[in-house]
């Protein structure tokens, strides 16, 4: 968290951010943070609070992606094993799954590289 933003967030707001990141609804988050839903909505309009919330949400997303990546090799191996199944339907689905995900990963990588080049050219590096 950036120091200039963190200094302006109260401990109660920090609890609100943690609740917003971990709860399914505003009402559930409000209960967990011991505030009203209206308070959470009002805090979300505060740019400093919103910046902290976005940062916390991004950290949670990164943690989830890391968790998925831990099982990625195993999942690919399962699909690869299916390529040698007797059933042509299973083999086709496995092949299509591998192709689809490989292309999606390639496109995401290419897009990330293009965005990086544009950011460098514009002199603006955006951190998410």
Which tokens belong to 23? 């709860």
DSSP notation for the chain? --HHHHTT--HHHHHHHHHHHH-SSHHHHHHHHTS-HHHHHHHHTSHHHHHHHHHHHHHHHHHHHHHHHHTHHHHHHHHHHHTT-S-HHHHHHHHHHHHHHHHHHHHHHHHHHHHHHHHHHHT-----
Which tokens belong to 81? 């094993």
d(CA 76, CA 99): 11
Domain ranges of the chain: 1-70, 88-128
Question: In this predicted model, what pLDDT tens digit does every residue of 40-61 receive, in sequence order?
Answer: 999 999 999 999 999 999 999 8
Question: In this predicted model, what pLDDT tens digit does every residue of 20-37 receive, in sequence order?
Answer: 999 999 999 999 999 999
pLDDT for the residue numbered 33? 96
Per-chain mean pLDDT for the chain: 87
Question: In this predicted model, what pLDDT tens digit does every residue of 81-122 receive, in sequence order?
Answer: 888 989 989 989 888 888 888 888 889 989 999 998 998 888
Tokens 């971990």 -> residue: 22
pTM here is 0.59
Which tokens belong to 8? 């302006």
CA distances from 87 to 80, 83, 92, 99 (A): 14, 9, 9, 19
Label residue 25 left, alpha or beta by phi (over 0 means left) and psi (-120 to 50 means alpha). Answer: beta
d(CA 56, CA 8): 16
């Amino acid at each position: 968290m950036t120091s200039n933003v963190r200094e302006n967030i109260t401990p109660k707001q920090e609890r609100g951010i943690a609740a917003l990141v971990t709860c399914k609804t505003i009402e559930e988050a409000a209960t967990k943070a011991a505030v009203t839903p209206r308070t959470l909505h009002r805090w979300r309009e505060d740019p400093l609070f919103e910046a902290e919330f976005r940062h916390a949400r991004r950290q949670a997303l990164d943690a989830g992606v890391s968790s998925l990546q831990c099982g990625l090799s195993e999942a690919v191996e399962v699909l690869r094993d299916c390529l040698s199944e007797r059933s042509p339907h299973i083999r086709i689905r496995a092949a299509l799954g591998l192709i689809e995900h490989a292309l999606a990963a390639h496109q995401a990588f290419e897009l990330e590289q293009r965005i990086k080049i544009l950011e460098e050219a514009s002199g603006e590096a955006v951190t998410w």
